[in-house]
Structure 1
């Protein structure tokens, strides 16, 4: 009887121990020692070009908040690419890294690009047309002087007429460009640097390519060109995708389960591992160091986003947001410019769905 009771007690304790292990809460120390190795600093250097069917290519570096085009040039060799930094994290052993779409593929709508280009050209056209009008007026004055017998003005007249005709051709060319169809492209060079490594120059970044993006939810997957996650680097578990597919086959309502999991986060502790301000804060004498920050879920805003009190700065876009068991619950993507105390994350189910599109 005693042996029987002892066996039951052992089974009970084992079951309790298993539950404790399953629900064991992580600490900042354990996150830094293990999971932080799977987080990378992303560097994206890029510029844009727009090709018109008039055989003209214009290069530029962006569009400001007022819709003005930046860094315009007609010579690709004169382009000064923009560099931005973000955060990503490994989600597979074959080098797949999750991040934000605005980190991996910063884009504008073709409509906005065309409007900005046309606006810039129109401003230029107006300025050149003003010069043409002034030059035409001056040519009239010189013509009167020449007709009155002042032949010394002839060389000045001829030189100014040549400039005026050249400017008029430029105005005509700009007007043709404004009515031409165009094709807009982004030229991007993406690389990542690993946590706890020394980064001294661009050669210390490992080359990546963009695999796919979800612009609606600001998510992207990039991949090391080697297609192999370096050994000993942590890979965040995205096995929810397999569970989701299996549940769909079994007829389970997976969407309701996801909503239930999301609602259970309210008020819970969350952690974020990322590179606030990119290399500015991360570079130390000991190498590149990701920051681990802590907060709480302050609001389940909708089915796509959650809001939390984790401090966040530019550069942390794409960081994994983890629950108290160290599981990914969101991908950090935005905050308020006037405060770092409230930030948003895209719920993990959208990342799971994006991963499913490439399986």
Structure 2
């Protein structure tokens, strides 16, 4: 037992000695520190405790996180702004900012109907032509507002050929009263209206009152005025001229005539405007075009040159602004058209883009829509026109006709309404008579050949 206690005491002794050594070391360090404080400035200053209310303590700003935060706000702001701008452009400016799925370039074959449609749908427009009867009386022009002279509206098709707002259509679309159809009826109406005006319009009516007076008194007008009035009585007097005797019966007649003349002399005499001073004709009231995808927007136009050859049913139409809309990325370039019509053979594809039946088919809930129809060439050309089996009717006059590659080969102008499949177009080379392009095309080809030789 005594040995065990000695062992425990011997084991504890080293530990106690170690602790004493450590305490002595710490005391030496403290003494060294105290000597430094007495002989020199303190290296470290003890923090001072300040009694500051909690609410007044403000954290020190940290620069790096704040910068990142600001950059985040900027990115979010500009991203949102970009989305708003793109959204507005897409909603309000879609018809003007959109690009066609197919861009037509020279010598590139658009080998499907869909590609041809996508390339040229914006270049083909619907024509709305309002025209009416006008009269010029002693130099004063008025529009006739009478039952026989109601205003007419004709729909057709045209297509852009340059960036100056120039379009090609049919001459009968641009000047329908000069076409063969209905000519006889128009001339008859013009002749009758001249006579009717002369039968009611007196010389005491002022020019500014012509239009109102004619419309108000049209029910009393007669196209047989001269036959029943002047000419009839003149013929009667000529029949009695040259008789060399007078009977008692004749004397009685003579006394009656004198009596009638006396009564007529007491009635105020009215002078009527001579028929020779009256000109009646048809004239454009307004002509405008609507673009594909447009909504109730008609662009005003002027009529340019018309073909002087009655067999070439072509004419030029131009926007008043003389600037093709930006939405028309692809004009129908005549430099890429087929002018060698002898190369167009029966059986080849024919594609038409146009507006048959005008607004009846074109107007939809989302705006004006152009239409595509296809068929094939039916007969060889005669040098002026070509026949094809493409569905067509009123309103499609002036539509471009393409081959399988999307090259212009003709301009649609006529057909048989009751029987589909018999339609005709004026071949492309005839456009040169109203819109010269072959000379510039030859010059361009010569320039390309020169470049190649160099």
1:81 aligns with 2:151: yes
| CA 226–311 in structure 1, closer or farther in 2 if over 3 Å, else same | same
Aligned to 1:92: 162
Aligned to 2:87: none
- Contact kept in structure 1, 2:177 and 2:282, CA below 8 Å: no
Match of 2:406 among 321, 326, 339: 326
Q: Counterparts in 2 of 1:224-243, with a 5 A limit?
A: 224-233=319-328, 234-239=330-335
More deviation, 33-42/322-331? 33-42
Gaps of 5+ in 1: 1-20, 62-68, 73-79, 135-139, 148-156, 242-256
Q: TM-score, normalised by structure 2?
A: 0.53
Please list every run of at least 4 consecutive aligned residues from structure 1 whose deviation after the TM superposition is greater than 4 angstroms: 54-61, 111-116, 119-123, 131-134, 157-162, 182-185
Paired residues, what number?
282
Aligned-residue RMSD, C-alpha: 4.1
1:223 aligns with 2:306: no
Distance 1:269 1:103 in 2: 26
Aligned to 1:193: 290
The C-alpha deviation readout for 1:3-61, integer Å capped at 9, x for no partner, is xxxxxxxxxxxxxxxxxx8445122x223323111110011112243546x55757569
Q: Counterparts in 2 of 1:154-193, with a 5 A limit?
A: 166=270, 169-170=271-272, 173-174=274-275, 176=276, 186-193=283-290
Aligned to 2:306: 213
The structure that has the greater radius of gyration is 2
Aligned to 1:339: 419
Normalized per residue, which structure has more strand? 1
1:32 aligns with 2:117: yes
Aligned to 1:286: 366
Aligned to 1:272: 352
Q: Counterparts in 2 of 1:307-322, with a 5 A limit?
A: 307-322=387-402
- Contact kept in structure 1, 2:344 and 2:380, CA below 8 Å: no
Q: CA deviation at 1:81?
A: 2.5
Whose RCO is larger (CA < 8 A, sep 6+)? 1
Gaps of 5+ in 2: 1-106, 197-221, 234-251, 441-454
Distance 1:192 1:160 in 2: 60
SS of match in other structure, 1:239: helix
Q: TM-score, normalised by structure 1?
A: 0.65
Distance 1:83 1:318 in 2: 16
